[in-house]
C-alpha cells in the first residue's frame, strides 16, 4: 500500500497497511529513495504508521506478532474511538499484494497471508 501518508488528515481513522521490506518502488526504510518518486527520500513505513497511531492516540509502541517466517504483524494498541492501526511487514517482500499471483508482482510475494482476506476482516471490525 503506497498511500499511508497522512497528507493533511486531522482525525483518527483506522488504517491497515501491507509493506515489503525490499520494495524497490515504495521503500520501507526511512530515508531511502524508491522508483515511484525518484530522488525523493521517503519517510519510513514504521514512522508513517506511528504517525497514524499518534493521530489515533494509540500507544506508540506496537505489539509485534510473527504471522509466519516472512510476515510480522504490528498493531498499535489502545487507540481512541474504536480505531485500529495495523501494519503487516513482509520480510524480503517486494511491491506486491500478499497472497496474490507471485508471477505478476515486483519482488517476493508472500503466500503466508492473504491481504484481501485480512482487509475484509479488518474493515468489517472497523
- Write down the pLDDT at residue 2: 41
Q: Is the pTM of this model over 0.85?
A: yes
Beta strands in 1-126 (DSSP E): 15-20, 63-66, 71-76, 85-90
pLDDT tens figures, 4-61: 566 678 899 999 999 999 999 999 998 888 888 788 888 899 999 999 999 999 999 9
> What CA–CA distance (Å, rounded) separates 126 from 121?
9
> What CA–CA distance (Å, rounded) separates 47 from 96?
20
Hey, is 124 helix, strand or coil? helix
Parallel, antiparallel or unpaired: strands 85-90 and 63-66? unpaired
For residue 74, the cross-strand partners are 64, 87
> What CA–CA distance (Å, rounded) separates 108 from 70?
10
Give CA separation, 89 vs 10, 23, 74, 100, 117, in Å: 25, 11, 8, 15, 16
Other Cβ atoms within 10 Å of 100 Cβ, number? 15
Amino acid at each position: 500500500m503506497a498511500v499511508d501518508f497522512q497528507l493533511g488528515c486531522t482525525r483518527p481513522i483506522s488504517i491497515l497497511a501491507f509493506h515489503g521490506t525490499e520494495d524497490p518502488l515504495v521503500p520501507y526504510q526511512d530515508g531511502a529513495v524508491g522508483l515511484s518518486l525518484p530522488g525523493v527520500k521517503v519517510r519510513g513505513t514504521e514512522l508513517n504508521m506511528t504517525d497514524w497511531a499518534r493521530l489515533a492516540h494509540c500507544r506508540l509502541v506496537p505489539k509485534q506478532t510473527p504471522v509466519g517466517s516472512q510476515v510480522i504483524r504490528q498493531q498499535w494498541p489502545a487507540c481512541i474511538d474504536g480505531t485500529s492501526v495495523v501494519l503487516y511487514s513482509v520480510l524480503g517482500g517486494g511491491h506486491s499484494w500478499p497472497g496474490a499471483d507471485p508471477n505478476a508482482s515486483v519482488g517476493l510475494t508472500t503466500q503466508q497471508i492473504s491481504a484481501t482476506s485480512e482487509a475484509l476482516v479488518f474493515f468489517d471490525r472497523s
